[in-house]
Chain A
Amino acid sequence: MKNATPLLARGAALAALLAASASVAHAQTELSLWYHGAGSANAEEALVNQLVEEFNASQSDWTVVIETFPQLAYNDAVGAAALAGELPDILDVDGPVMPNWAWAGYMQPLGIDEALLADYLPGTIGRWGGEIYSVGLWDAAVAMTTRRSTLEAYGIRIPTLDEPWTGQEFTSALMTIRDSGDFEFPLDLGMAWRGEWYPYAFSPLLQSFGGDIIDRSTYQTADGVLNGDAAIAFGEWWQMLFEENLAPGTSQDAADRDVGLLNGTYAISWNGNWAALPVVEAFGDDALFLPAPDFGNGPTIGGASWQFGVSATSEHPEGARAFIEFALQDRWFAAFSDGTGLIPPTSSAAADTANYAPGGPLEVFYGLSEAQALVRPVTPGYIVQARIFEGALADIANGADVIDALDAAVDDIEDDIQANNGYGH
């Protein structure tokens, strides 16, 4: 009996130790995830939350804790957190911004098996320095949005992916519509939407002329591509659109941008798939989503949307990777697409969606994204170059000398590249 107490105590201690060990073995390590879509009007935020919940329930190693930010403030919040050493494990990043964050040391390579991404749309994979840093669960695309009846009324050919409008054909069509006097403007480019819309939506037109924002062979100069003959031809065509009253300029009312096609102010609108469903609802089978015109170097649209990546300071990259791999399933792609109207990254997922399946109202956007999408310049300097390009286009639209405006933009871009020691290329 004398020895019973120590024995019991040792037994109890051993049981407690085993219980503690078991509890540690089943404790989930917390991973933080920052997401840009707080307040999303559509189902995106709810779906991201559902994705997190299902991942947490699917395994016993990790618990993802989500923190949502308004998109307007997201990039600044990430920059501030990086400065303060407070980055989360998993980051949500806009495709064209990713190279900057990778170069700045905010992110680390994803370390994901590339074979997993073999049949993904090109815009959904974020690469920098030969490594994959981010993957998107969706992409976006833009199209010339109009009505079949409008084109037929003016005898304008309906272009196809294989046979898009030529530049000349497109311009003639705009002039025909303008001369009818039936619309305030034949074309709505969305000039009221400043910011990333300009490089996203308009640099593909420049690329179709044969120019670009930056020389992608070196990413060290814009000379010759942003102010060469092709770019000047683009600039003159761009300016002509506004001088000839073919499109509203930078003073366009945002309200007109939102409703101008629907209320008959504009005949054709250069707009994204995110704005397509209201057009289908308003015009039904009369709605048309047409490919970008070909100005000589092939029709092009912008690619890449929001993607997931792993922060450079994450202490559990394997956990972050496990979460991202969990998200890369067709069922999630289809759920996001059905919920948000965005384009799923794989054809197999597209087939499971309401809008992008064969015969679906937005099927054409998958084809556009697959055939015409070109990612924006893959360089850390893009975020600066995008603003400079935006300024140059606005200036030209407002009547600035085309050559002077493009030369000035080239100078500004090259100054920035030099100031940043070539951005690591």
Chain B
Amino acid sequence: MAAVTGDNHGLRLATRYAVLVLVAIIFIFPLLFMAMSSLKPDQQLLNDTNSLRAFLPVGDLSLQNYWDAFDRAPIGVFVLNSVLVTATTVVFSLFVCSLAAFSFVFLNWKGRGLIFSILLATLIIPYETIFIPLLLMASQLPWIGAQGFEVGWLNTYRVQIIPFIADGLTIFLFVQYFRDLPKELIEASRVEGASWWQIYRKIVMPLAGPVLATAAILKFLFMYNQYLWPLMVVQEEAIRPVMVGLGYFTDQLNVPWGEVMAYLTLITVPVLAFYLMLQRAFIASIASTGVKG
């Protein structure tokens, strides 16, 4: 009987690993295809799509597509812009949204239930539907900067950052997480004379690692993948982000596939690096909140 149980256990384990390997392959193959294709000349790349050779480093391999991609577009500028815009937005967003969530969960103020409901309702409104009025607003907003007073935010970094700092989803994530924190901690701190700011900074935020990671990754992906908004509000090449830059590799009909793959490989690196950096906290947060990215 014990032998049978052991066999079953082994079989279950083998099946589980087989399924996991299969799922891993499904997720890894597109990345593998992208990376391998970036090393092949177009003709070979297209011919290889008919077989498993597409995923293998075989044939005429070189870094030529990378050099050609750098010749075609200022990739470094695009990546730098995206990283700058994304990182700034993520940092400010984590701060502003966590403060808002703290207020919703721990502070008593009139109308917070209603405001929170309205905030949740905004989750069902896609950003794209408000881009036109947002564009009109952005083109008329005042600003005081290095050049003094000016009107209009178009063609700036701030127009790519500020509208996305606060959003319903990030606040919602923080609210859900904060609600699960032990109330006794907060009450004890208040009794000890801690201010709300001290509670936020010294008690709540040090415990918020997993939700910070989740919110950061989701916001990072959203911002890094921005296409339509920067397309509408940025006309200068010098401040364009990576996704708009992808357009440099396609015209109406002809696509240099090898260069496209090289470009995609290059712009995927920051995303993978950021994800790997926060992977453990992200998984912990998903496990605890049930939120799927």
- A residues near B, CB below 8 A? 34, 37-41, 67-73, 76-77, 80-81, 83-86, 193, 195-197, 253-255, 258-259, 263, 272, 274-275
Contact = CB atoms under 8 A, between A and B. Distances in A.
A288 to B, nearest CB: 21
Contact of A274 (B132, B233, B254): B254
Nearest to B153: A84
A68 B237 contact: yes
Given A77-B235, A84-B154, A254 B247 contact: no
B176 interface: no
Interface stretch (B28-36, B43-51, B267-275, B284-292): B43-51
B214 to A, nearest CB: 31
A275 B236 CA distance: 31
A37 B250 CA distance: 10
Interface string B224-248: 0000100111011100000011111
Nearest to A260: B46
Nearest to A271: B253
Contact of A71 (B132, B245, B250, B256): B250
B164 interface: no
Given A80-B135, A83-B136, A85-B139, A258 B251 contact: no
A265 to B, nearest CB: 11
Contacts, number: 86
B208 interface: no
Contacts of A195: 252
5 contacts: A38-B247, A70-B250, A197-B253, A253-B49, A255-B47
A67 B253 contact: no
A370 B47 CA distance: 37
Contact of A39 (B42, B232, B248): B248
A70 B46 contact: no
Contacts of B232: 76-77, 80
B46 A258 contact: yes
Contacts of B249: 39
Nearest to B245: A70
B256 A41 contact: yes
A255 B260 CA distance: 14
Contacts of B264: none
Leading 9 A-B pairs by shortest Cβ distance? A70-B247, A39-B248, A255-B46, A84-B139, A80-B232, A72-B247, A73-B247, A39-B72, A71-B251
Contact of B244 (A41, A67, A73): A73
Interface string B37-59: 00000110011010000000000
Contacts of B237: 38, 67-68
Contacts of B248: 38-39, 70
B252 A86 contact: no
Please tell me the size bucket of the interface on B.
35 or more
Nearest to B263: A39
Contacts of B138: 84
B139 A86 contact: yes
B142 to A, nearest CB: 15
Given A67-B237, A196-B252, A197-B253, A41 B46 contact: no
Given A37-B251, A254-B255, 10 more contacts: A38-B247, A67-B236, A73-B231, A77-B231, A80-B232, A83-B132, A84-B136, A258-B254, A259-B46, A275-B253
Contacts of A38: 73, 237, 247-248
A86 B152 CA distance: 10
Contacts of A68: 237
B46 A71 contact: no
A132 B164 CA distance: 43
A222 B189 CA distance: 75
Contacts of A254: 255
A56 to B, nearest CB: 19
Nearest to B248: A39
A193 B136 contact: no
B256 to A, nearest CB: 6
A83 B73 contact: no
A274 B252 CA distance: 11
B180 to A, nearest CB: 43
A83 B49 contact: no
Between A41, A69, A71, A254, the greatest number of chain B beta carbons within 10 A of the residue's beta carbon is seen for A41
Nearest to A257: B253
Contacts of A85: 139
Contacts of A253: 49
Nearest to A78: B235
B253 A272 contact: yes
Contacts of B250: 70-72
Given A72-B247, A255-B46, A39 B252 contact: no
B163 to A, nearest CB: 14
Nearest to B72: A39
A41 B254 contact: yes
B201 to A, nearest CB: 40
Interface in B151-184: 152, 154
Given A255-B46, A258-B46, A84 B135 contact: yes
